Amino acid sequence: MKLTGKKIKSMLLCMMLTMAMAITAVGCGSKTENTTDTQKNTEISIVNTESTVETEAVAETESVDAAVAQEIILGEGSVKFTFIVVDADGNETNFVVSTDKETVGDALLELNLIEGEEGDYGLYVKTVNGITADYDTDHTYWAFYVNGEYSNTGVDSTPVNEGDTYEFKVEK
């Protein structure tokens, strides 16, 4: 069998590709050490420190369970509470907020989680976590709940209580 330049190049290329595939297969089958970075690959944490939001999010290398809720940690302070945002499609975002503010409204305003206008009855919240509900356009509004119950007080007059759950839901 006579080997020409093209055949030799072709054989060399095939051998290199075979070796590359073998190295890739061996590399994919190895176990990684259990380091701090690999332990964090299932956690998503956003920490607000002096106006800087640091995000630690690492893609999973194994199967990803879409049903696992994302929990975002925000703020600094001695009192912690859960804050849930439910958009018009029912998508839920969960926050754990640490604060030293007296009211839920002050804590959420400080973290830029809510925006609104002052009205006759206090702060009228129009935007939560970057999502705007506009009653004038589509008759939606942000409903405020405390521990699963519709709140009788506005967010700016509701005191922060350790361990409570506060929630804004888009409603019609």
User: Does residue 164 lie within any of the structural domains?
Assistant: yes
Q: What is the pLDDT of residue 27?
A: 60
- Spatial separation of the C-alpha atoms in residues 117 and 125, rounded to whole Å: 7
Determine the structural domain holding residue 111 and report its residue range. 44-57+68-171
Return the structure tokens found at 94. Answer: 């969960």
CATH number for the domain that contains residue 144: 2.170.130.30
User: Does residue 9 lie within any of the structural domains?
Assistant: no
User: Does residue 79 lie within any of the structural domains?
Assistant: yes
List average pLDDT for each run of 10 residues in the chain, which is 172 residues long.
65 68 59 41 35 33 43 95 97 97 98 95 96 95 98 97 98 95
User: Does residue 127 lie within any of the structural domains?
Assistant: yes
User: Does residue 13 lie within any of the structural domains?
Assistant: no
User: Does residue 155 lie within any of the structural domains?
Assistant: yes
User: Does residue 33 lie within any of the structural domains?
Assistant: no
Number of separate helices (H) and strands (E) present in the chain: 4, 11
Q: What is the pLDDT of residue 3?
A: 60
Provide CB contacts within 8 A for 44, sequence distance 6+.
55, 56, 57, 70, 71, 72
| Total domain count, the chain | 1
DSSP E strand boundaries for the chain? 44-49, 52-57, 71-74, 79-86, 92-99, 114-119, 122-128, 131-132, 141-146, 149-150, 165-171
| Cβ proximity of 51 and 70 under 8 Å | no
Global pTM?
A: 0.61
Closest CA to 148 of 169, 167, 171: 167
User: Does residue 158 lie within any of the structural domains?
Assistant: yes
Q: What is the pLDDT of residue 20?
A: 65
